[in-house]
Chains A and B, each alone.
Chain A
Amino acid sequence: MRLMIPLAITFIAGMIMILNFFIPHQPFAFLGDNLQEWYMIVASGAIFLGAANLMHVHIRKIRLRLKNWEYSPVTIIGFLVMVVTGLVYGVTENRPFDYLFMNMVAPMGATMFSLLAFFVASAAFRAFRASNWRATLLLTSAFLVMLGQVPIGAMIWDKIPLAKVWLMSIPNTAGQRAVMIGAAMGVVSTSLRMIFGIERSYLGGAD
């Protein structure tokens, strides 16, 4: 019974969405549209769960004096500052919440992602060393795309930007399409397994 009700909910919700797609008339259209909106609302509960868990983890870290516990108050204060400014002053432009986002969250996000430029480049250099002709092909393709993106590429040879466009629109599209079609097949089969209750690991095991 502990599993039967959740499995029934999954089946009914999944079937309503599929039927809504193939039979876009009443009552499936009404049920499907409402379910999509409910989905958004219930999924936002997951954000609350994540936030509560983040606080739980850091409070526990401070209480037990675990490794690097000294930084946990920084996370908690950062979280509370954003939540309080958002709830008290609202989220419209030029309010404290927007000010903190524009001057702290956005710059830190951009910096974090730009840090990846260094690490991805150095990791790739070690991983994709031109050990065989295919790895050399990968490196050459990456090098041409990078060179084609910047003005120096056209200064070296005016055909490099054209080569970059061709690489991105033909071989890259072909490879990405093969991956996308394969992944779509995987999504279809996994979704069917979930809807029919064969795959139930998301409920915490097969018990």
Chain B
Amino acid sequence: MNWDMVGIWLGALTTLFLYSFLYRDNPFYKFAEHLFVGMSAGYWLIYSVFNVLIPNWWDRMLPEGGGFQWVWLIPGVFAVFMLARMVPKIAGLSRFALAMIVGTGAGLNMVTFFQSNALAQVKGTIFSVATGGVWSVFSSLVLVVGVVSGLVYFFFSKAHTGMTGRTASVGITILMVAFGASFGYTIMARISLLVGRVTFLLEDWLPTIPRLFGIGG
């Protein structure tokens, strides 16, 4: 059996089934949708086993040189606690696992987010003040005014009236331009995926139809 051909047909049929939703909801779409959910869940489960659990947990608990590193039993037990949620009688055990994830995540995110998303952005804005030509200075000014007025718009502890209201109004304007640009960029990313799928159907799948039925060369 030509497995390459089978692969192309599997990809093409599932693609067409999913695109059938553009007409209306139908059994072909539902079939492909359910298949995608199941296969994706299976993929991520296996991915996590082979890329997280085996190298980071199993291989460390039972190293090649021999011996049993008992300390690695602790995260394993916590991971099993997570599954306790499925059994009502012992569901409370999952709180220990959740607490560990939330605590570590909160501590880690608090410092890293503050450093990368707050301090680094403030620094970037301050150092953006250019010394080049008029256009460069104007752009830097738009950037600084945009960031400050945008922050004022998000500051709800003071009523948006008077000077604060006028600054917030500039903030909304900058945010609308920013959201428009992000929106346009997102649409184009999706369009590029669409082009990829249509190219696959036209260039990879369509030529296989005559070959499959023995038509042409």
Tell me the A residues contacting B by CB distance below 8 Å: 2-3, 5-7, 9-18, 21-22, 35-54, 56, 68, 71-72, 74-83, 86-87, 90-91, 97, 99-105, 107-118, 120-121, 124, 134-135, 137-146, 149-150, 166-185, 187-188, 190-192, 194-195, 202-204
Known A82-B43, A114-B194, A178-B146; contact A145-B79, beta-carbon cutoff 8 A: no
Q: Give chain A nearest CB distance to B187 CB in angstroms.
A: 6
Complex contacts, A11 vs chain B, CB 8 Å: 103
**Pair A146/B196 contact, Cβ less than 8 Å:** no
Residue of B nearest to A147 (CB): B184
- CA A175 to CA B172, docked complex, whole Å: 9
Complex contacts, A101 vs chain B, CB 8 Å: 43
Indicate whether B44 reaches chain A with its CB closer than 8 angstroms.
yes
Q: Give chain A nearest CB distance to B149 CB in angstroms.
A: 8
Q: Give chain A nearest CB distance to B183 CB in angstroms.
A: 5
**Pair A79/B39 contact, Cβ less than 8 Å:** yes
- CA A177 to CA B48, docked complex, whole Å: 33
Indicate whether B160 reaches chain A with its CB closer than 8 angstroms.
no
User: Of residues A46, A144, A190, which shows the largest number of chain B Cβ atoms within 10 Å of its Cβ?
Assistant: A46
Complex contacts, B154 vs chain A, CB 8 Å: 178-179, 182
B96-112 interface with A by 8 A CB criterion: 96-111
**Pair A134/B107 contact, Cβ less than 8 Å:** no
**Pair B40/A187 contact, Cβ less than 8 Å:** no
Known A174-B150, A180-B117; contact A42-B97, beta-carbon cutoff 8 A: yes
Complex contacts, B74 vs chain A, CB 8 Å: 38
Q: Quick one: which of B37, B146, B200 contacts A75, CB cutoff 8 A?
A: B37
In the A-B complex, the 6 residue pairs with the closest CB atoms: A175-B178, A174-B146, A178-B150, A82-B42, A17-B107, A78-B38
Tell me the B residues contacting A by CB distance below 8 Å: 3, 6-8, 10-11, 14-15, 18-19, 21-22, 30-50, 52-53, 56-57, 74-76, 78-83, 85-86, 92, 94-111, 113-114, 117-118, 121-122, 124-125, 139, 142-147, 149-151, 153-154, 171-188, 190-191, 193-194, 196-197, 200
**Pair A203/B180 contact, Cβ less than 8 Å:** no
Known A82-B42, A111-B18; contact A10-B82, beta-carbon cutoff 8 A: no
Number of A-B contacts (CB under 8 A): 393
Q: Quick one: which of A36, A177, A184 contacts B113, CB cutoff 8 A?
A: A184
Q: Give chain A nearest CB distance to B119 CB in angstroms.
A: 8
**Pair B98/A6 contact, Cβ less than 8 Å:** yes
Complex contacts, A36 vs chain B, CB 8 Å: 104, 108
Known A174-B146, A187-B109; contact A82-B15, beta-carbon cutoff 8 A: no
**Pair A71/B31 contact, Cβ less than 8 Å:** yes
Known A47-B45, A74-B35; contact A174-B142, beta-carbon cutoff 8 A: yes
**Pair A177/B43 contact, Cβ less than 8 Å:** no
User: Of residues A41, A56, A75, which shows the largest number of chain B Cβ atoms within 10 Å of its Cβ?
Assistant: A41
**Pair A114/B146 contact, Cβ less than 8 Å:** no
Residue of B nearest to A97 (CB): B46
Subset of 9 A-B contacts with CB under 8 Å: A2-B95, A42-B97, A78-B37, A78-B39, A81-B42, A145-B185, A174-B144, A178-B153, A180-B117
**Pair B197/A110 contact, Cβ less than 8 Å:** yes
Known A78-B35, A170-B143; contact A13-B100, beta-carbon cutoff 8 A: yes
Residue of B nearest to A9 (CB): B99
Knowing that A39-B100, A101-B43, A178-B175 touch, tell me 20 more A-B residue pairs with CB under 8 angstroms.
A13-B107, A17-B111, A18-B107, A42-B82, A45-B97, A52-B86, A56-B86, A111-B14, A120-B190, A124-B183, A124-B187, A141-B181, A149-B188, A171-B181, A178-B153, A180-B118, A187-B109, A190-B106, A194-B103, A195-B110
